[in-house]
Amino acid sequence: MNTYDTLLISSPASHVVQITLNRPDFANAFNTQMALDLVDIFESLSMDPSETRAIILTGSGTRAFCAGGDLKERNGMSNAAWSKQHLIYERMARAVINCPIPVIGAINGAAYGGGCELAAGVDFAYVAHGARFAQTEVKIGIIPG
């Protein structure tokens, strides 16, 4: 299995793959690289599930499952660059939703914006006490996915 800049991949039990969003200093907000990493791992598992019977998707650290898109990365982006990034984010969401292996979300903190949408795309969500969900992008004029 590949290694990734923004994800930790492990096998906590037989036939189980755990994918951990690993940008805790940024509340696990997905940037373009994390979206590409998620596309790669989910499409790879979808095309060749091998012995994988379940996927756990969670966030590193204690603060957030995923704070959504990294808005700092968007600062200064042209409309064309933002459109290209948005297509990558859409492909990421489809890769999770269309995965034939059951995806279990272990929601261990804030799931805001695109993180809330990512949590909505899993097959089963187990939510830690105190986890929060919100569509915060509406405060800055972005339409939720």
Q: What positions carry a catalytic annotation?
A: 117, 137
At residue 90, the 3 state secondary structure works out as helix
| CA 10, chain centre distance (Å) | 16
Query: Closest by alpha carbon to 35, among 88, 72, 108, 82?
Result: 88
Query: Closest by alpha carbon to 29, among 49, 62, 59?
Result: 59
